[in-house]
Amino acid sequence: MSRFLVTGANGFIGRHLVSTLGQRGFPVVQTVRTHAGTGESTGGIFVVGDVGPGTTWDSALNRVNVVVHLAARVHVLNDSAPDPLHEFRAANVAGTERLARSAAAKGVRRFVYLSSAGVNGPRSGVQAFTEQDSPRPYDAYTVSKWEAEEALRAIAGETGLDVVILRPPLVYGPDNPGNFLRLLGLISSGWPLPLSALNNRRSLIFVGNLVDAIIHCALDPAAAGQTYLVKDGEDVSTPELIRRLAALMELPPRLVYFPPFLLHWAAKMAGKTPDLDRLMGSFIVDDSKIRVTLGWRPPYSLASGLRETIAWYRRKQRNVVATQ
Beta-carbon contacts of residue 46 (< 8 Å; ≥ 6 apart): 29, 30, 31, 32, 59, 60
Active-site hit among 113, 141, 228, 300: 141
User: Mapping DSSP to helix (H, G, I), strand (E, B) and coil, where does residue 257 land?
Assistant: coil
Beta-strand relationship, 170-172 and 204-206 = parallel
Q: Write the burial class of residue 136 (CB in 10 Å: 0-12 exposed, 13-18 middle, 19+ buried).
A: middle
141 is catalytic: yes
- Closest Cα to residue 81, out of 148, 147, 143, 140? 140
- Closest Cα to residue 28, out of 159, 296, 218? 218
Task: Please give the Cα distance from 161 to 166 (Å, whole number).
Answer: 16
**C-alpha angle 111-149-172 in degrees, rounded to nearest 5:** 80
User: Mapping DSSP to helix (H, G, I), strand (E, B) and coil, where does residue 189 land?
Assistant: helix
Residue 48 in contact with residue 55, Cβ under 8 Å?
yes
User: Mapping DSSP to helix (H, G, I), strand (E, B) and coil, where does residue 172 land?
Assistant: strand
Task: Please give the Cα distance from 155 to 149 (Å, whole number).
Answer: 10
What are the catalytic residues? 141
